Structure 1
Amino acid sequence: MATDIDLHLGRRLRRRRRLLGLTQQQLANQVGIRFQQIQKYECGANRISAARLWQLAEALESPVSYFYDGLAEALESKSSPPSTGGEMFSRKETIDLIQAYYQLDEKPRRRLLDLAKSLHADEAA
């Protein structure tokens, strides 16, 4: 049975993998396991050992601490309704937008960010 911590780690694993545009198979190949194991980690069905978490962090080019980011808040707010922030980053369109953004050079990225901020300011006014 998955614990809240296992579920959180699995969500963070899925989010980082998707941000990098990796399939479960590609990630599994990098750490020497089957893609089904990645599936089980991501849904919280299997617990991620410390050694495996280290390997996954290396493959995903992130610190191990990335997987624990927001855990305390998630555990504290378990009794309150879920926020939309976590849901927002699990949407495919959000991942696609972030990937497209980082494929741009620095100057167009800044211009796009300025445009997005101005659009939001127009809506708020």
Structure 2
Amino acid sequence: MKEEPHSVDVHVGKTIRIQRLLRKVSQTELGDRVGVTFQQIQKYEKGSNRVSASMLVEIAGALKVDVRTFFDDLSTPDTANDNTAPSEEFVISREGVLLNAAFFSIKNEALRKKILKLVQAIAKTGELDTEAAE
């Protein structure tokens, strides 16, 4: 019987994936930068293989992030909840990360707020409301 990945390993793996996608780096490219295969990067991202401290430092350097980034928002083991909500699943998905990056690349804050209101209106009604879009 295979053991489930530890919640910390899953969290670190998800964070590696998010940071990699935000920087538009493929698993192969990240693997090449740190000296492992893309399959190993996949296992790290799923949390099925633990990332050693030295490899975490290598990955942080390859992605140009502070190594502490991988532990941001980490729950303590007593409060960790292994059930990921559907909204969290979207946020860490490729589409979610790319949507987030595209949204925050819009420099005009007023435009971002209008886009947010439009999306909220669409979600509320299930269809495009022309008044909400204005």
What's the TM-score, normalizing by structure 1? 0.76
Q: Which residue of 2 aligns with 1:95?
A: 97
Residue 9 (structure 1) aligned with residue 12 (structure 2)? yes
Task: Specify the structure having the higher radius of gyration (Cα).
Answer: 2
Q: 1:85 to 1:76 in 2, by over 3 A?
A: farther
Map of 1:114 onto structure 2: 113
Determine the C-alpha separation between the residues in 1 that align with 2:51 and 2:120: 43
Aligned AA for 1:55? E
Q: Distance in 1 between matches of 2:120 and 2:13?
A: 35
Percent of pairs with identical residues: 32
What is the aligned partner in structure 1 of residue 128 from structure 2? none
Q: Cα deviation per residue 1:48-75 (whole Å; 9 max; x = unaligned)?
A: 1111101111111211111111211686
Structure 1 or 2: larger helix share?
1
1:84 Cα deviation after fit = 4.2
Instruction: Give every structure 1 segment of 4 or more consecutive aligned residues whose post-TM-superposition deviation is greater than 4 Å.
Output: 120-123
Match of 1:49 in 2: 52
CA RMSD across the alignment? 2.8
Aligned to 2:81, what secondary structure does the other structure show? helix
User: Runs of 5+ in structure 2 lacking a partner?
Assistant: 125-131
- Mapped to 1, the partners of 2:80 and 2:42 lie a distance apart of 26
CA distance in 2, matches of 1:32, 1:50: 15
Under a length normalisation based on structure 2, what TM-score does the superposition of the two structures give?
0.72
Match status 1:72 vs 2:71? no
- Within 1, Cα distance between the matches of 2:77 and 2:94? 22
